[in-house]
Amino acid sequence: MEINDLKKEFLSLYGGEEKHIKVYFAPGRVNLIGEHVDYNGGYVFPCALSFGTYILARKNNENVVRFATGNFEDKARIPLTDLSRRLEGNRWINYPLGVINQFAKNGYPLGFGIDIFVYGNVPNGAGLSSSASIEVATATMLNDIMGVGVDMIELVKWSQKAENEFVGVNCGIMDQFASGMGRKDHAIFLNCDTLDYELVPVRLKGVKLVIANTNKRRGLADSKYNERRAECEKAVAFISRKKKIKVLGDLSVEEFESLKDAISEENVLKRARHVVTEIKRTLDAVTALKAGNIERFGQLMNASHDSLRDDYEVTGVELDTLVEEARKIKGTLGSRMTGAGFGGCTVSLVKEDFLEEFKKKVGENYHKKTGLKADFYVAEIGDGARRIE
C-alpha cells in the first residue's frame, strides 16, 4: 500500500485533516546467522529489511488512544487512564500498548490522546519479526510526537521490555535492535550481552537474499521458545559447578568441550552445544563476509541450520523441507531457517541466474511434500526505524 492510500484509510476512520498526520516506519528483520544465541550472550548477524510496519498518528482532543489497522478488523478505543492494562487475548494492540506503558514507566506518561493507524507488510507469524517492527515503530512515533528525545538504543531496550513484561514473550533484544539500528546494505554484528555492534557492509555481487515463508503459522508465545531458554539457563547452572559463567556465550568451543561432562541431561547438553558452536559460526561468517567469501558464508549458513535441526530441535518438517529443496538447486550457496523456528521462514543465498529455477522447483517440491504453498521474497536490506513524513 502507498503512503497516500494509508492516509486515505486513516481519514476514513478518524476524519479531520491530512496535514496533521505523521507517518513512521520500522522494518522487519532477517537474521543471516546466529540463531537462538541472542538471549545467551552471543553474537548475532541480522539485517533490516525493506518491508515492515507503518504507523500513522495524529493527536486528538478526546483523552483517548484509538487503535486501528489495515491488517485485521481488531480496533480499540482506550482512555488515557486505562493505558496500563493489558487487553485480554492475543491482540495486536498489546504490542503498542506495551511500548506506551514503557514510556510511562520511564517518566513519560502519555498526556494527550492519539489516533493511530497501523499497517504492516511483514508476513505476520513468519518469523521476520512483525512484533518488534510494530514495537519499534510505536516507540519512534511516541518519541517524536511527545518530543522527549530518547536515543534509539534506549527505544530499542524499551521495545524489548514491552514484549517481555507486557505481552509476556521472553524474547531477546536482537529483533528490536535490528529494526531500530539497521542500515541499508549493511548487517549488524551484535553482541547481545553488551550491545556492542558493528555495521558490516553486505556485498552480494550476483547473489540474492531469498526469504521463503513456509506458511506454517506459529505463534512465538505458543512455541517452545521459553522452554529452550530455560534449558539454556539449566546448562549454565550445570557448567557453573565447574566454572562460574553468566551465560553460555562466555564459553569458547574448546572450553565447552572440556566442561560439557558437567551437564548430566542429554537434551540440555545438545542445546548448549548448539549455542556455543553457533556463536563460533557467526564469528566465522562475519570474517568470511568481510573477506568477500560468500561461498564460505553459505557453508556456515548450512551448518547453522543443521545444528538448529539436530541439537536445538526447533526446525520441523516444513523448514527442513524448504532447506533440503533449496540445497538441491545448483545456484544455492547456503540455506537455513531464520527466526524462532517451528514454522516461519528460511533465508537462502542464491545466484541471480538461478532465482526463477529456485522459486519454481523449491515451491513445487515443497508443496508436494507438505501440501503447503511457500511464498518467496527477494529481500533488499533497508534502513532502520524513522519518521517518513
Collapsing DSSP states into helix, strand and coil, what is residue 327?
A: helix
Q: What is the pLDDT of residues 305-353, one digit of tens each?
A: 999 999 999 999 999 999 999 999 999 999 999 988 888 899 999 999 9
Q: What is the pLDDT of residues 341-358, one digit of tens each?
A: 888 899 999 999 999 999
250 flagged as catalytic = no
Residue 353, in any domain of the structure: no
Looking at residue 381, the DSSP 8-state letter turns out to be B
In the structure grid, which three cell numbers stand for residue 145, read together? 510526537
Residue 322, in any domain of the structure: no
Give the sign of the dihedral formed by CA 78, CA 82, CA 84, CA 88. negative
Q: Rounded to whole angstroms, how far apart are CA atoms 78 and 231?
A: 39
CATH assignment of the domain containing 143: 3.30.230.10
The verdict on pTM exceeding 0.85 is: yes
Task: From the candidates 115, 175, 250, 320, give the one annotated as an active-site residue.
Answer: 175
Residue 260, in any domain of the structure: no
Residue 379, in any domain of the structure: no
- What pLDDT, on the 0 to 100 scale, is given for residue 126? 60
Residue 27, in any domain of the structure: yes
Residue 49, in any domain of the structure: yes
- What pLDDT, on the 0 to 100 scale, is given for residue 124? 63
| Regions in the chain scoring below 70 on pLDDT | 123-127, 218-223
Give the sign of the dihedral formed by CA 83, CA 86, CA 88, CA 91. positive
Q: Rounded to whole angstroms, how far apart are CA atoms 167 and 226?
A: 14
Number of domains observed in the structure of the chain: 1
Residue 86, in any domain of the structure: yes
Q: Which residues of 128-138 are buried (b: 16+ CB within 10 A; e: fewer)?
A: bbbbbbbbbbb
- What pLDDT, on the 0 to 100 scale, is given for residue 309? 98
Is the separation of the CB atoms in 209 and 347 below 8 Å?
yes
Range of 79's domain? 3-201
Residue 87, in any domain of the structure: yes
